[in-house]
Amino acid sequence: PHFTKGFADAPTFVVDSNEITGVISEVRLIFRDALYAAFPMASALGVKPAVTLTKDSKNGEFQCNNAMELCKKLPKDLGFRAPRDVATKIVECVPKNDVIEKVEVAGPGFINIFLSNAYIVKEMNNAVKSGSAKPTSKMGKVSKDSLTVVDFSSPNIAKDMHVGHLRSTIIGESVCRILEYQGHKTKRVNHVGDWGTQFGMLIQYLKEKFGENPKMEDVDIQDLTGFYKGAKVKFDEDEDFKKVSQTNVVKLQAGDEGCKAIWQVLCDVSRKEFEKVYSRLGVTVEECGESFYNDKIPGTIEELSALGLVVQDGGAKCIFVPGFKIPLMVQKSDGGFGYDSTDMAAISYRLRELKADRIVYITDFTQGDHFSMCFRAARMAGWYNPTSADVVHIGFGVVQGEDGKRFKTRSGETVRLVDLLDESVRRMEESLRERTKEGKGSIAEGDIRSTAEKIGYGAIKYFDLSRNPTSNYIFSYDKMLDTKGNTGVYLMFAYARLKSIIAKAESQHGVKVDATSPEFNMQMTHKNEHRLGFELLKFPDVLSSVTSTLSPSGVCEYLYNLALVATSFVTECKVLGSDEMESRLALCEATAGVMGECFGMLSIDVPDKI
Ligand code: ARG
């Protein structure tokens, strides 16, 4: 038997389980009841209902796998010798329902479950008739009004955002949208690196380049990385420069107006560059950088010290966390505060001032230990416990070049984000022009550029979001811009195809379906219609699963399968001009509707026409 991964665990987080009425949970509930009716002791034996999706519909749509495990655990005197006997007993106890057509005991004791087509038609009819054309109508809203702080993007001032920040930005935006879709409150936090000893040299360098009192308008630094490097070289080579830089740090920390003003200019200049990327990608994030916590750090250290958690180690103040060799350093031996200090003040603020129910940090995986230590220290301080809040780090893998090494430009420089976005759009624009020249597609000349932007950015996002965040991936324009396979481009084409059918129905056949009218009823007889209906009816379950696992890749996986099934549907079932035109159009609309919601959660702005 083959199982589709992804739905093996029942949803756990905040959505009230009796409110989820996707087809997967319907079947799960039926088999939960059957299992407990057949074997009331199952739960005491530690056997939980296990219903999975099958890969091949000739074995039914679902499979219940409890019999094997249960058979081993049941007391011998009950007389169940083989798993097949156990399975038969479960089958006998399946309550009367209109969801399942038939069940079969197969192989060593699997239960194959076949969905009722009549049920699919009935549910799809209800869904489209509800007017939303999306089978979400029965979706309950989230029962708990929880707040999730999502710490993402978080680039560093006076440095360009790099492809790691791109991953954080893309994943973070999508995580927020998934939560918000279900009515959760989020606070999107950009923890920018706007504080630290590097500002001493940056202030000095800026003064030397743009005068004693540089104004934002006068400062034009397109190339932040070059600027940072220039300062660093000078710092390493020039003793005098180094000395003034160091006094600048002290002055800045002490609140010196002059230094603060220049620091502000540096922040504003960088912010302007970051904003360009955010607006291109449709990302919203609120800046609350390291400097915000600066005056909160001394109090935090005091509190941690009073709790007996802080140890003096070679002049520095440290917190040793069980299981880690290096400690968290909350104050350096020279009295300065660093990354660890800031994050301890930040976690305290988020849990106790913002009263976050959940905090999600999104950075590359190399920072995993840092966050584990912070979380552990916060728990040792009693700031939260696993039942009061959920604090997690999503650590993503490295983006690699085609050579398998860290992604760099040909000359070995880190790739600037803007260049990467430009390149994706450029290539897409080129291929769209090509298509138009060949007489394909339906984009007007004037829309080519904006369509290329949507697809270009969307393709990058999908390429990133569709994989498990912890894995490394090889950055490849060719792969991500491929019109075939599991790519954003393929999905956008599949979506546009549905949209174009809907548009043609109106323009060429004068038909616009009103599924809400009393006369309208879904007619679904073809197997591809049933398959598509089944796929659509999973949507509420997918939502609850991705919300509990915070997994954009779950949305991608669903979207891709939906697109495949929808493509077979429109390929094999004639829509335009057929007898079933209205009903089939309603299916197209429902599918486009659900796909649109998924694109939205992935923050992919999808064109209607390609
Ligand atoms: N600025 C850091 C970096 O570029 C990421 C900050 C992540 N957030 C945090 N609270 N430490 O790697």
Distance of CA 185 from the midpoint of ligand 1 (Å): 22
Q: Give the CA distances from residue 412 to residues 326, 332, 475, in Å, rounded to whole numbers and listed in that order.
A: 32, 34, 15
Q: Give the CA distances from residue 423 to residues 147, 163, 223, 408, 476, in Å, rounded to whole numbers and listed in that order.
A: 37, 14, 18, 14, 11
Phi, psi angles (nearest 5°) of residue 588: -60, -45
To the nearest 10°, the Cα dihedral for 150, 156, 161, 167? -30
Q: At 157, which amino acid appears?
A: I
Distance of CA 158 from the midpoint of ligand 1 (Å): 14
Phi, psi angles (nearest 5°) of residue 391: -120, 120
Strand-pair category, 62-64 with 51-53:
antiparallel
Residue closest via CA to ligand 1's atom 4 equals 155
The per-residue pLDDT for 8 is: 29
Please tell me the distance from the alpha carbon of residue 153 to that of residue 191, in angstroms, as a whole number.
8
Please tell me the distance from the alpha carbon of residue 261 to that of residue 213, in angstroms, as a whole number.
8
The answer to whether residues 186 and 173 touch, using CB atoms and an 8 Å cutoff, is no
Which pair of tokens denotes residue 437? 């020249």
Q: List, in sequence order, every beta strand (DSSP E) within 358-450.
A: 358-364, 390-396, 399-400
The answer to whether residues 343 and 369 touch, using CB atoms and an 8 Å cutoff, is no
Distance of CA 22 from the midpoint of ligand 1 (Å): 38
Please tell me the distance from the alpha carbon of residue 257 to that of residue 255, in angstroms, as a whole number.
6
What atom in ligand 1 is closest to the CA of residue 367?
Answer: 12
Q: Give the CA distances from residue 4 to residues 23, 113, 538, in Å, rounded to whole numbers and listed in that order.
A: 15, 14, 13
Strand-pair category, 110-115 with 62-64:
antiparallel
Complete edge-to-edge strand list for the sheet that includes strand 390-396: 286-287, 185-190, 147-151, 358-364, 390-396
Please tell me the distance from the alpha carbon of residue 297 to that of residue 286, in angstroms, as a whole number.
21
pLDDT tens per residue across span 50-76: 999 998 888 999 999 999 999 999 999
Distance of CA 39 from the midpoint of ligand 1 (Å): 51
Q: List, in sequence order, every beta strand (DSSP E) within 441-537.
A: 473-474
Q: Which of 597, 280, 272, 225 is nearest to 461 (CA)?
A: 280
The per-residue pLDDT for 131 is: 65
Alpha helices (H) along 282-367: 297-306, 339-348
Residue with tokens 């743009």: 210
Q: Which residues of the chain have pLDDT under 50?
A: 1-18, 133-143
Give the bridge partners for 395, in sequence order: 363
Which pair of tokens denotes residue 607? 């064109």
Which pair of tokens denotes residue 22? 């996707």
Which protein residues touch ligand 1 with a CB less than 6 Å away? 151, 154-156, 191, 193, 343, 346, 361, 363
ipTM, two decimals, is: 0.99
Report the residue count for the chain.
610
Q: At 524, which amino acid appears?
A: M
> What is the tally of helices (H) and strands (E) in the chain?
20, 14
Return the best residue to mutate from 363, 391, 393 for the ligand 1 pocket (most ligand atoms within 8 A of CB). Answer: 363
What atom in ligand 1 is closest to the CA of residue 361?
Answer: 8
The per-residue pLDDT for 19 is: 53
Alpha helices (H) along 573-607: 581-601
The CB density around residue 363, as the number of other CB atoms within 10 Å, is: 24
What atom in ligand 1 is closest to the CA of residue 362?
Answer: 7
Per DSSP, 193 falls in state: B
Cβ-in-10-Å burial (0-12, 13-18, 19+) of 246 comes to middle
Q: Which of 328, 322, 324, 334 is nearest to 347 (CA)?
A: 328
Long-range contacts of 241-248 (CB under 8 A, 24+ apart): 241/201, 241/204, 242/201, 244/200, 244/204, 245/200, 245/201, 245/203, 245/204, 246/200, 247/200, 248/199, 248/200, 248/201, 248/203, 248/204
The answer to whether residues 330 and 374 touch, using CB atoms and an 8 Å cutoff, is no
Distance of CA 367 from the midpoint of ligand 1 (Å): 9
pTM for the full predicted model? 0.91
Residue closest via CA to ligand 1's atom 6 equals 154
Return the best residue to mutate from 344, 367, 373 for the ligand 1 pocket (most ligand atoms within 8 A of CB). Answer: 367
Residue closest via CA to ligand 1's atom 5 equals 154
Return the best residue to mutate from 150, 152, 154, 354 for the ligand 1 pocket (most ligand atoms within 8 A of CB). Answer: 154
Residues with Cβ within 8 Å of 53's Cβ and at least 6 positions away in sequence, in order, are 3, 4, 7, 24, 61, 62, 63
Which pair of tokens denotes residue 46? 């530690």
Per DSSP, 156 falls in state: B
Q: List, in sequence order, every beta strand (DSSP E) within 35-133.
A: 51-53, 62-64, 100-106, 110-115
Query: Can you say how many angstroms the Cα of residue 556 is from the centroid of all Cα atoms in its chain?
Result: 9
Residue closest via CA to ligand 1's atom 9 equals 191
pLDDT tens per residue across span 551-569: 999 999 999 999 999 999 9
Per-residue exposure over 590-610, b if at least 16 CB sit within 10 Å of its own CB, e if not: bbbbbbbbbbbbbbbbbbbeb
Please tell me the distance from the alpha carbon of residue 429 to that of residue 421, in angstroms, as a whole number.
12
